[in-house]
């Protein structure tokens, strides 16, 4: 359990990170407001409190939580793909990251958070309600199955995936949800050695661009080797993808 000094240091780190985030072009004014920092702090406290009873995250120290959950989740803020999106799906959201911090920053956008573990997605729903995030829905499902649901398939402008798997795998999980002209944003640790090259076939088969754009975010996480991989969708994904449950991770494209 953390003490008050640890919490105070974490809040200071959060405010400093949000100041750097707010300096980016196109990031909403909300990032500058004290109420936003408080909402994120409240989210952290909700997670850490529930984490004492059920395993939601391995990160239980407040300052690490700020860096590796809150600020990391917000790393894509200001990107054209995020700013233009109206419907966003977060695949493998766990207890709500990156979806909940982004939903708080972008209340005008609709977010669907999905996860295969009921305890985590139930918590994400509880947290969204507790924090008054009316633009959040949750779904307990595996991506391989829900990606074939006609209510969800190719219905989103943007798909997000953080800390779930290697690029060929997460592409197969995520791109069936994305409409033609939309994109996927994938949170990675650098160096993700060989992942871009290894995902070339997956991108071709799933209807994606042959190019992967990489954006680093040392502004809000100095000293951390993190990046976003951004992939555009150019063509409809063939109906056979995603393959049945478990196959994308066992036999990547």
pLDDT digit string, tens, across residues 133-171: 999 999 999 999 999 999 999 999 999 999 888 999 999
- Evaluate whether residue 6 is within a structural domain: no
Beta strands in 46-168 (DSSP E): 87-91, 110-115, 136-140, 156-162
- Evaluate whether residue 63 is within a structural domain: no
- pLDDT at position 192, please? 72
| 220 band by pLDDT with thresholds 50, 70 and 90 | very high
- Evaluate whether residue 3 is within a structural domain: no
Q: Return the CATH number at 187.
A: 3.40.50.150
**More confident site: 106 or 195:** 106
Angstrom distance (rounded) from CA 55 to CA 48: 10
In degrees and rounded to multiples of 5, residue 182 shows phi and psi of: -90, -165
- Evaluate whether residue 50 is within a structural domain: no
pTM score, whole prediction: 0.96
Share the mean pLDDT of the chain. Answer: 95
**Terminal-to-terminal C-alpha distance of the chain:** 43
The per-residue pLDDT for range 83-101, each reduced to its tens digit, is 999 999 999 999 999 999 9
**Nearest of 148, 173, 138, 169 to residue 159 by alpha carbon:** 173
Question: What is the count of structural domains for the chain?
Answer: 1
Give the domain extent around 217: 75-250
- pLDDT at position 222, please? 86
**Nearest of 121, 114, 240, 230 to residue 176 by alpha carbon:** 240
In degrees and rounded to multiples of 5, residue 125 shows phi and psi of: -65, -45
The per-residue pLDDT for range 46-81, each reduced to its tens digit, is 999 999 999 999 998 999 999 999 999 999 999 999
- Evaluate whether residue 48 is within a structural domain: no
Q: What is the mean pLDDT of residues 103-115?
A: 98
- Evaluate whether residue 153 is within a structural domain: yes
Angstrom distance (rounded) from CA 206 to CA 176: 8
- Evaluate whether residue 49 is within a structural domain: no
- Evaluate whether residue 17 is within a structural domain: no
- pLDDT at position 1, please? 64
């Amino acid at each position: 359990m953390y003490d008050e000094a640890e919490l105070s240091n974490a809040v200071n780190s959060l405010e400093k990170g949000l100041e750097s985030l707010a300096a980016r072009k196109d990031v909403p004014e909300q990032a500058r407001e004290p109420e936003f920092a408080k909402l994120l702090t409240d989210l952290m406290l909700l997670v850490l409190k529930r984490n004492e009873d059920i395993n939601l995250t391995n990160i239980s120290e407040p300052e690490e939580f700020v860096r590796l959950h809150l600020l990391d989740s917000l790393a894509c803020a200001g990107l054209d793909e995020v700013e233009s999106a109206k419907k966003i799906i977060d695949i493998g959201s766990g207890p709500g990251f990156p979806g909940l911090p982004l939903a708080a920053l972008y209340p005008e956008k609709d977010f669907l958070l999905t996860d295969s573990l009921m305890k985590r997605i139930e918590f994400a729903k509880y947290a969204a309600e507790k924090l008054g995030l009316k633009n959040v829905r949750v779904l307990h499902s595996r991506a391989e199955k829900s990606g074939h649901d006609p209510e969800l398939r190719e219905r989103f402008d943007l798909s997000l995936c953080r800390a779930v798997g290697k690029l060929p795998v997460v592409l197969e999980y995520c791109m069936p949800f994305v409409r033609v002209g939309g994109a996927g944003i994938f949170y990675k640790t650098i160096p993700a050695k060989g992942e871009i090259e290894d995902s070339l076939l997956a991108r071709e088969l799933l209807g994606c661009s042959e190019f992967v754009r990489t954006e680093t975010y040392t502004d809000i996480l100095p000293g951390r080797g993190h990046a976003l991989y951004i992939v555009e969708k150019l063509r409809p994904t063939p109906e056979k993808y995603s393959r049945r449950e478990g196959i994308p991770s066992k036999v990547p494209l």
